[in-house]
Amino acid sequence: MADKPRIAVHKFSSCDGCQLAFLNLGESLLALAEMVDIVHFAEAGPVAPDAPVDIAFVEGSISTPDEQSRIRRVRTNSRFVITIGACATSGGLQALRNHADSARWMARVYASPEHIRSLDTATAIADHVPVDFELWGCPVSARQIVATVRALLFGVPPVPEADKVCLDCKRSLAVCVLVARGEPCLGPVTRTGCGALCPRFGRDCYGCYGPADLPNTDALSGRFAGLGLLPEEVARRYRFIHSAQPALDAAAARALDGHGEDGP
Ligand code: SF4
Ligand code: SF4
């Protein structure tokens, strides 16, 4: 990596929330700007989308024909490509349309759908080009971004966080909302990174950081059924933020088929 690595932050189909995680770095962003050359970050100022860089952070899913060709240019121009957030890493919320008739949805949402040029699906960046590292979360946190940039500046691979949210719950002495209150918490199958943010404030995790390593979704589906959730409600839990992520999509399909640990 160059003495002062060149960095780009690219936006694809997304809400900009993960770019805001960069801006929320505050003073750390100023310190970062001393250590790296931020050559493209349209939301913050510099615009040079086709400039060669050492690290390209990519927010958003691939949802339009233009984005299909643009992500290939980003890959060609970048030494490392790092996805930030749910949309870039799994397709995100907009991938809900992968399970529906997108043309019908467009006709209902837009007054003149003939002007819309979008694909029938919203897909992850890794479905289109090789990705070097993924940061999950909806949105990602400033802490994750700093840790990743720091690792790359030191010349070591960033450390993936794939433990379950439950472990962070225990570490922070949060009361388990699943056990204590019977809330359908997705923490047992969700990767950590947020510090068990929701349970620490007394609400159930809805899985915004994506699947943890080895998620035992059948056991959790059985537990949710025991709480009184219908199969459709269990499936909807898995297909909320990361509906196109294969493990969660399959878990939803199995829940609809009645396969939980207490099911057939
Ligand atoms: S509240 Fe949720 S994340 Fe925390 S320990 Fe219970 S099930 Fe796990
Ligand atoms: S607890 Fe779950 S829903 Fe809440 S921020 Fe963490 S991963 Fe996202």
Express each pLDDT in 181-240 by its tens digit: 999 999 999 999 899 999 999 999 999 999 999 999 999 999 999 999 999 999 999 999
**Distance between CA atoms of 181 and 194, rounded to whole angstroms?**
21
Query: Is the model's pLDDT at 40 over the cut of 80?
Result: yes
Ligand 2 geometric centre to CA of 79 (Å): 31
Cβ within 8 Å of residue 261, ≥6 positions away: 218, 219, 221, 222, 223
- Ligand 2 binding pocket mutation candidate from 141, 192, 194 (most atoms within 8 A of CB): 194
What is the Cα–Cα distance from 56 to 79, expressed in whole angstroms? 8
Angle between helices 231-238 and 246-256 (to 10 degrees): 180
Nearest CA to ligand 1 atom 2: 187
- Average pLDDT score over residue span 242-246: 94
The pLDDT value given to residue 261? 60
Q: Which two tokens stand for residue 178?
A: 């699943």
Among the bound ligands, the one closest to the CA of 174: 1
The helix/strand/coil state of 223 is helix
The confidence score (pLDDT) of residue 161 equals: 87
Question: Which has the higher per-residue pLDDT, 262 or 241?
Answer: 241
Task: State the Cα–Cα distance between residues 73 and 81, nearest whole angstrom.
Answer: 11
**Atom of ligand 1 minimally distant from the CA of 185:** 2
Question: C-alpha distances in angstroms, 189 versus 65, 74, 207, 220, 251?
Answer: 34, 32, 8, 8, 11
Tokens of 21: 């995680």
With bands split at pLDDT 50, 70 and 90, how would you rate the model's confidence at 26? confident
**pLDDT above 70 as % of the chain:** 97
